[in-house]
Amino acid sequence: MTSSGLTEKWKDVSPNKHRVGDYTHEVNYGDLTIDWQKADPTIRIALKGIKGDEIMHTEFALSTISPYQ
């Protein structure tokens, strides 16, 4: 996930073959939350707007990205 700077607003978003999901033109910042209480910790990454409202997010288990399985 790529977040913009709070002072940046993109007019155009370049094509990217690696992009999964949608994109936003809204000014945003990134938020990362890890739930270490689960047997397989959950990672949640989100983009939030200036007022803290969530624009988009994704969530996945640590085991899905860990080389130690």
Residue 58 has pLDDT above 70, yes or no: yes
Average pLDDT over residues 50-59: 92
pLDDT band at 8 (very low <50, low <70, confident <90, very high): low
Q: Give the residue among 22, 26, 29 at the shortest CA–CA distance from 9.
A: 26
- pTM (global) more than 0.75: no
Q: Would you kindly state where each structural domain of the chain is located, as residue ranges? A: 29-64
pLDDT band at 66 (very low <50, low <70, confident <90, very high): confident
Average pLDDT over residues 44-64: 93
Q: Give one word for 52, left, alpha or beta, with left for phi > 0 and alpha for psi -120 to 50.
A: left
SS3 63: helix
Q: Where are the beta strands (DSSP E) in 1-69?
A: 29-35, 42-48, 54-61
Q: What is the per-residue pLDDT for 67?
A: 84
